[in-house]
Structure 1
């Protein structure tokens, strides 16, 4: 059963995603910052999808094709933000 903090983080994740879809990146940044603050305060981790699709440098929610590029390179997925930051995480082939 998820805690109130985890439910709130999930809701902020959905709000950040919809804000970027509407083109409001500043509102998206506020949602991401608030979710990170809640996770720190309550000592609960952020979901993997949230971590992978938020920029650590500029705090915006990454939406491929709009403000991020996604490429595969040597067994890794590379997500590049418009601000220049890169995220890399491994993937398994044939999985």
Structure 2
């Protein structure tokens, strides 16, 4: 792995933690900017976002999801359905 990729992965992890902290402090706009910045870094370096980051953000509005606060999670026939306040839904399989 090249040095640039390592630095980019570290930056994405740091932005994820900052977004989590911002949502906990009720600063949703700041959290949204961290999510957008992390996605941009991943695109620039052609990296995939970590699974935990992908599943805790809304693809439609770039919000960092906090279950019970701005997102709802339900199970439905072998899938977890996550619904954001904006109305967008994500589905993930589980066993």
The answer as to 2:64 corresponding to 1:61 is yes
Name the SS for the 1:60 alignment partner: coil
Task: Look up the SS of the partner of 2:73 in the other structure.
Answer: strand
What secondary structure does 2:26 align onto? Answer: coil
Secondary structure of the residue that 1:58 maps to in structure 2?
A: coil
Partner of 1:6: 9
Cα separation, 2, equivalents of 1:71 and 1:22: 25
Query: For this pair of structures, how many residues does the alignment match?
Result: 92
Is 1:28 matched up with 2:28?
no
- When normalised by structure 1's length, the TM-score is 0.94
Gaps of 5+ in 2: none
Return the offset for 1:69: 0.3
Distance between the aligned counterparts of 1:46 and 1:33, measured in 2?
A: 12
Structure 1 counterpart of 2:46: 43
Runs of 4+ in 1 over 6 A off after TM superposition: none
Structure 2 partner of 1:77: 80
Give SS of 1:30's match. helix
